[in-house]
């Protein structure tokens, strides 16, 4: 590890302490052994793999997935061909993989089906929730800070179903629920700020008023305990290419609580969710269980890559992941305070553990230039315009030395880029 540059020389004593603490924390880290399961090399002849803090956008590749996927392509598709639907288990993959995701989000088996994109599953969940809600309820509460697509989909669903969208801050949902509320669509972790919303409290408030809770878990599944069953969530959706490391464009998933499955009325009925899919009858009759969330032919190649990727979770407790996530983000915030004082960056992510996901967002007036230079120097995060630097912490492969290096490099970059307006 290189010596502190001029930008951090004034805090060299603290820097030495932070570097030593990082080494000690890594040495004691029980999850550190899982890092070797991922392909984290520099590639293209690079000796330095850098620091990857963008797992909240695209998780790293589990090292064993290419060989597993090669078998899917060469043997299952190339040799067995259509026989693989039965002999290789292709047909049962959506529910089988859903059952593997279930423990990571606190769900019993039989309630999650994998397939389609997050956006498509949001549409299914929102429209189905309006059909599950008691008659006369004509409002959909939507997280005003939601990922934009969730808002677009909710607005479209509202036009189709005759409902009215009510946008508001998630913290205001409990006080805004009325007898007109059909459901609320909320992001468990805010994609921009990293704020963790109160899933138990919001869900309970909705239920008390007779409404349903639909949660987007894209930025929480695989990073922290969710407790879908324990907290009585009705419907949930999530992607699998972030903290679940399923690969770019990996299929999303839909959770339908068991108590709702016999009345779950999907707005996208397809042959794959028919009770007799090969009967090819003109009338639709929904399958039992979570399979009602299927639509068309599953995307087998990406789905089986995801199934292989989930092997990295064998023997891992999500509670341990959460503990390390909080320790990593605490340490990063401390390092940033030591290395980059002076107000050039300010934390947007809450300090309180109960309000923090597994990312840290920093506001910086020069964010586009700073992130471009960070990436050039081997620290990969991402940017949310106009002024947010985002850093995602995936506990299975990010270590404390990574955190210290990222903060130190950030300070160096800030020293080299003049403040806006200077």
How far apart, in whole angstroms, are the C-alpha atoms of residue 219 and residue 196?
A: 9
Catalytic residue among 147, 264, 332, 339: 147
Catalytic residue among 52, 241, 331, 397: 241
Question: DSSP for 213-253?
Answer: EEEE-TTTTTTS---TTTTT--EEEE-SSSTT---TT---E
Catalytic residue among 54, 116, 190, 216: 216
Q: Is 149 annotated as a binding residue?
A: yes
Instruction: Give CA separation, 151 vs 159, 173, 414, in Å.
Output: 12, 16, 35
Q: Is 52 annotated as a binding residue?
A: no
Instruction: Give CA separation, 294 vs 202, 230, 279, 355, in Å.
Output: 28, 25, 16, 34
Contacting residues for 185 by C-beta, under 8 A, at least 6 apart: 122, 125, 126, 140, 141, 142, 143, 146, 150, 154, 214, 216
**How would you classify residue 277: left for phi > 0, otherwise alpha for psi between -120 and 50, otherwise beta?**
alpha
Q: Is 62 annotated as a binding residue?
A: no
Cβ–Cβ < 8 Å for 301, 376: no
Cβ–Cβ < 8 Å for 308, 70: no
Q: Is 119 annotated as a binding residue?
A: yes
Is 243 one of the annotated active-site residues of the chain?
no
Q: Is 147 annotated as a binding residue?
A: yes
Is 192 one of the annotated active-site residues of the chain?
no
Q: Is 297 annotated as a binding residue?
A: yes
Is 147 one of the annotated active-site residues of the chain?
yes
Is 253 one of the annotated active-site residues of the chain?
no
How far apart, in whole angstroms, are the C-alpha atoms of residue 89 and residue 366?
A: 51
Residue 25 phi/psi, 5° resolution? -65, -40
Q: Is 118 annotated as a binding residue?
A: yes
Cβ–Cβ < 8 Å for 306, 93: no
Is 242 one of the annotated active-site residues of the chain?
yes
- Closest listed residue to residue 312, CA positions, set 13, 14, 35: 35
Instruction: Kindly tell me the burial class for residue 209, based on how many C-beta atoms sit within 10 Å of its own C-beta (0-12, 13-18, 19 or more).
Output: middle
Catalytic residue among 100, 195, 390, 408: 390
Catalytic residue among 37, 100, 124, 242: 242
- Closest listed residue to residue 237, CA positions, set 276, 275, 183: 183
Q: Is 148 annotated as a binding residue?
A: yes
Question: DSSP for 75-127?
Answer: IIIIIIGGGHHHHT-TTTHHHHHHHHHGGGGT--TTSEEE-S-HHHHHHHHHH
Q: Is 353 annotated as a binding residue?
A: no
The first and second tokens of residue 37, run together, are 């399961």
Annotated binding site: 118-119, 147-150, 216, 219, 241, 271, 297
Annotated binding site for pyridoxal 5'-phosphate: 118-119, 147-150, 216, 219, 241, 271, 297
Residues known to be catalytic: 147, 216, 241-242, 390
């Amino acid at each position: 590890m290189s010596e502190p540059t001029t930008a951090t020389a004034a805090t060299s004593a603290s820097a030495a302490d932070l570097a030593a603490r990082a080494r000690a924390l890594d040495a004691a880290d029980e999850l550190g052994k899982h890092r070797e399961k991922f392909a984290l090399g520099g590639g293209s002849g690079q000796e330095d793999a850098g620091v990857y803090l963008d797992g909240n956008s695209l998780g790293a590749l589990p090292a064993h997935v290419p060989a597993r996927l090669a078998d899917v392509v060469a043997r299952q598709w190339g040799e067995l061909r259509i026989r693989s639907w039965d002999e290789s288990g292709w047909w049962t993959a959506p529910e089988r993989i859903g059952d593997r995701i279930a423990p990571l989000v606190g769900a019993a088996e039989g309630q999650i089906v994998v397939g389609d994109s997050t956006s498509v599953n949001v549409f299914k969940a929102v429209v189905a929730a309006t059909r599950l809600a008691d008659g006369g309820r004509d409002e959909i509460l939507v997280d005003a800070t939601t990922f934009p697509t969730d808002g677009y989909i909710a607005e479209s669903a509202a036009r189709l179903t005759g409902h009215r969208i009510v946008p508001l801050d998630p913290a205001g949902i409990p006080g805004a629920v009325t007898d007109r509320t059909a459901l609320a669509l909320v992001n468990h972790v805010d994609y921009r700020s990293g704020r963790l919303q109160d899933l138990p409290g919001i869900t309970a408030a909705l239920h008390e008023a007779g409404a349903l809770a639909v949660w987007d878990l894209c930025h929480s599944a695989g990073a922290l305990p969710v407790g879908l069953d324990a907290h009585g969530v009705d419907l949930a959706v999530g992607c699998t290419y972030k903290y679940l490391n399923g690969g770019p464009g990996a299929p999303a998933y839909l959770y339908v609580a068991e108590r709702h499955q016999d009345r779950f009325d999907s707005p996208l009925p397809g042959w794959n969710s028919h009770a007799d899919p090969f009967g090819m009858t003109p009338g639709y009759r929904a399958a039992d269980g979570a399979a009602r969330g299927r639509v068309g032919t599953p995307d087998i190649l990406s789905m089986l890559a995801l199934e292989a990727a989930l092997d990295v979770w064998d023997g891992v407790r999500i509670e341990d992941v959460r503990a390390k996530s909080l320790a990593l983000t605490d340490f990063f915030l401390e390092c940033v305070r030591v290395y980059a004082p002076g107000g050039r960056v300010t934390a947007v992510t809450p300090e309180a553990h109960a309000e923090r996901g597994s990312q840290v967002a920093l506001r910086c007036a020069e964010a586009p230039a700073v992130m471009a230079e960070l990436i050039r120097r081997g620290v990969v995060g991402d940017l949310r315009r106009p002024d947010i630097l985002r850093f995602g912490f995936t506990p299975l492969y990010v270590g404390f030395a990574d955190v210290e290096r990222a903060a130190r490099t950030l300070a160096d970059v800030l020293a080299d880029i003049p403040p806006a307006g200077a």
